[in-house]
A and B are shown apart, each in its own frame.
Chain A
């Protein structure tokens, strides 16, 4: 501060700081809440039964269907699909519409081949006659029936089939298996590395160098790990395995193509720095008196680690695991290089021996978001599905976090006396 310019009073300066920081915090909360609201609205909204409308046009033509989208001065109307799913969209200019009705006798029919059609009828159409698998009098539904219909729609979409694509379960299962396999790989390696850094590497120059290197690895973009996984695991190791053990099947690759195992290894590489840094910090937080107390009773370094330090560091291990999951679930880009697919013919985990199939390609929620949003044949259905997948992904991460957080809290309570 230059002389001659009076300092604002301490209270005022404090106030500005308080307001500024509060505003920033409010912005953060608003953003987080906004994401959730958008995902819930856009992801779940389309499953809520929309009213069926009948548009009467200037030329006396009548169109029966659901308004899928309002686009400036026009509506996109989803009408009966005649040949295949999603071929019934009609663009209607508002100026041409004379009248909008909501006929109470309108029926929405779902056909066995996934088509949807709309019809006005006094009675429920004969099931089976025209391959109808479901029919509902949309505009006559009560609120309770709408809720039930919402639940049915959601369940049908999640389970897949009936023209709605593969559903969410394969992608959910793929994501879960991938994350768990990744955890099984990364946690032991990361913990062992952290133990070595903490207990044996010491604070010297090499230790500092290694710590710095591990820290910067955490900042490498995930796609770089994808390329590494493609070159090292898929083509390098996978290719070699194929040449040695599956030569009779070549050129059809067995392990030489992207698959669950390579994706899990790639994600393990990606999350390793986070695990190492977090676990080492956890070990460093344990009071020295505990370590010395154990050593003074004739325990070796290794015995002290096993009997005392690792149990005490369990909250940190859980934190490391949570952070690894968070980073792994969010990394979709590298997966595209090492084995994720839009539609996998079979799950990586099933009832067929050996139950877990590490060479299989798999589906992933994060990829489903991308694929639905950009590459769906029916954009008007795909985008809401992208939101629904994103919502499920967020739900999955929050559930895993909450579970780990609960366990961590219980551990913390047990060791609370050591935190002081």
Chain B
């Protein structure tokens, strides 16, 4: 299993490997689960309170279903660790962060300087997501109200 290379949380990391969604139903004590692209994230919603780690796998970077899975989980109130695993590349980091991922375990370790630059590349965002950043339109109209 690849190492967690970037983590934006202060709680203790869960060491358990995530069980598959299929096995999760029978494992009533498991605190970690791993979603594959075809899995339905909403199947986990009844169990969010006992989950501490959800790994979302990207077998290939171009399969973007994991972005929707991540946002759906955060929108439903999941607060545990959301870890991107698999074919995670520098140029996807910022998008993943915006969709609610707060830990990254790329299969091939990334250049730390390039990753740092990627996380901070865009000063602003156009859309609100679960990351809480104020979109440009909110800043525009806040400024208009102040002025």
Task: Say whether A associates with B.
Answer: no
